[in-house]
Amino acid sequence: MWASSEPGSSPASAFTRWGGEGRPSFTCCKRTLLACLTLLLATTLQAQSPNWQLTWSDEFNAPNGSPPDTAKWKIVIGGEGFGNNELETYTSRPVNIQQQNGNLIITAQKEDLTGPDGIPRHYTSARINSQNHFTQKYGRFEASIQLPTGKGIWPAFWLLGDNHETAEWPNCGEIDILETIGAPDTIYSTIHGPGYSGSKGPSTKYPLPTGESVHTGFHLYAVEWSPNDIKFFFDDHLIAERTPADLPPNTTWVYDHPFYILLNLAVGGYWPGNPDGTTTFPQQMLVDYVRVYTRKPATALGAPRPDSGTWASSQGRPSFTFTNGSQSQAKPNQ
């Protein structure tokens, strides 16, 4: 998602039946036992991974119908297309954005509306960012999200350099943690900078594991960003890594200053194309939480220091799989 402006889930519980004499009675099948062992191994590996300190978050637990927290988020309004030929106008109306049952819900609707900018549009949706509220240089940025699907539907969770007003896009830098363009089983992660933006941005097209889908439940999308290195994760599986070596010759790595967070649900655009007769409305993007971390000082192995009851670690896990791909995109706008 282009625009010139603008760790971790709780492990599932494992249940054991107890016999009449207080001894465990394992009546589960081999598959259940294997799942329990896998969970135990993952938890152990997680505890041995580098620790993270929570620096900022939004859990979206306000009363139902509440708007996003204005101390944390700016609501973007307008229908200018944002450099992508998007078809929606973004609004602050509850029908397009509100907190509900512990989630932030962004809803795209098919309706005619002319916004304050005087631009008539046939779709409405919402877009928020943490500009002038929160920025951070390096760390782990993650969100638990359930995504919509359908032709012309373009949700995104991304970061933008906070210097964009003095260093126009793409010189400010952009990190697209997550984008989808309608398919339920494919996500994209991309970086944009000077000389490598739009369709030239180094990008990974990641097909989800068999049986997984972006729209049937929540998944964890994250980036771990350090000097000269950006790692992308899906449910804590490493899916891509970018370094200055991935850039075209004679271009500059611009990921060395604070960035801020953006969430939006676009309709149409150069990349996804426009909705067609198969696209249903309304479409909803549900965000359970957004959390940002910085690395803690190194601690002794086996002596992790959790700081919020939620682990936020992704390194040290086995079977990292890389999938490289490409995408064709156009230039963004605020």
From the list 168, 179, 224, 241, the catalytic residue is 179
Tell which residue, 86, 56, 321, 93, has the closest CA to residue 210.
Answer: 321
The sign of the CA dihedral 83, 88, 92, 94 is negative
The yes-or-no answer on residue 174 being catalytic is yes
Q: Which two tokens stand for residue 8?
A: 């971790």
* DSSP output for 261-304: EEEEEEE--TTT----TT--S-EEEEEEEEEEEEEPPP--TT--
Strands 259-267, 127-129: pairing is antiparallel
Peptide bond into 11 cis (omega under 30): no
From the list 80, 174, 212, 241, the catalytic residue is 174
Contact 158, 1 (CB under 8 A): yes
The yes-or-no answer on residue 241 being catalytic is no
Strands 139-146, 283-295: pairing is antiparallel
* DSSP output for 54-87: EEEEE---SPTTPPP-TTT-EEE-B-S-TTTT--
Peptide bond into 282 cis (omega under 30): yes
Q: How far is CA 234 from CA 40, 127, 294, in A?
A: 20, 22, 19
Catalytic positions, please? 174, 179
